[in-house]
Structure 1
Amino acid sequence: MKEITIQVPEIFSVEEAGHFREHVRAHINSGTIHFLLDFSNCQFIDSTGLGVIVSSHKKCMESGGGMKLKSLNRNVFKVFELTRLTNVFEIL
């Protein structure tokens, strides 16, 4: 199982969402279906960023893979907690 680590942008909002989605989908299309999203630099995530992560996760799951998240700061973790996405993702 090959897992690729992707750095999440510092401000993960609508401006970065399209590029991030295409980056992940390109990896999925080339056969990589296991991802570790590194949030160590991410200070803020909005609903568009969350939507991209959720839809990318769904695409991975459909292919037999998945996504793990790591290094979420308190504010970003709180967003995942409030949206109950802590029940969806494995957070390291």
Structure 2
Amino acid sequence: MIEALEHHNREVTMKLAGDIHVEEATQMREKLLSSYEEGFIDFDIDFSRVSFIDSAGLGVLVTIHKRVLQQQGQLIIRGAKDSILEIFTITRLTRVFKFYD
């Protein structure tokens, strides 16, 4: 679930919570793509309250990441719990994204 979405200068900050399945991933995709199309290219996503993310959610992150890289932007994941980091590690996405505490 999206708890908060803020826009500052060229950066978007999104706070997520709970499980991210297809429905939540669809909402996330709509919000992030809309922000990207408005010219925002830096995305800071707070995962501190996320307990699970499925392949649909991971796919959204990869899609946005590819687009922002084309514009010299970045996608950062903050505060991911060990269980979430394990999902990113298993899928080798720790090589793709930047993670911060």
Place the TM-score, normalised by the shorter chain, in its bin.
over 0.9
Q: What is the number of equivalent residue pairs in this alignment? A: 92
Distance in 2 (CA, whole Å) between partners of 1:9 and 1:16 is 10
Higher helix share goes to which structure? 1
21, 28, 43: which one aligns with 1:13 = 21
Distance in 1 (CA, whole Å) between partners of 2:10 and 2:27 is 22
Match of 1:22 in 2: 30
Over the residues paired in the alignment, what is the CA RMSD in angstroms? 1.2
8 A Cα contact 1:2 1:32, kept in partner: yes
Structure 2: runs of 5 or more not aligned: 1-8
Higher strand share goes to which structure? 2
Match of 1:35 in 2: 43
8 A Cα contact 2:10 2:39, kept in partner: no
Percent of aligned positions that are identical: 36
> Could you say what secondary structure the match of 2:13 adopts?
strand
Residue 13 of structure 1 aligns with an amino acid whose one-letter code is H
- Relative contact order: is structure 1 or structure 2 higher (C-alpha 8 Å, sep ≥ 6)? 1
Residue 18 of structure 1 aligns with an amino acid whose one-letter code is T
What's the TM-score, normalizing by structure 1? 0.93
Match of 1:4 in 2: 12
Offset, 1:5: 1.0
Cα deviations across residues 6-46 of structure 1 (Å, max 9, x unaligned)? 11241111011111101001111111100111001100011
What's the TM-score, normalizing by structure 2? 0.85
8 A Cα contact 1:24 1:56, kept in partner: yes
> Could you say what secondary structure the match of 1:77 adopts?
helix
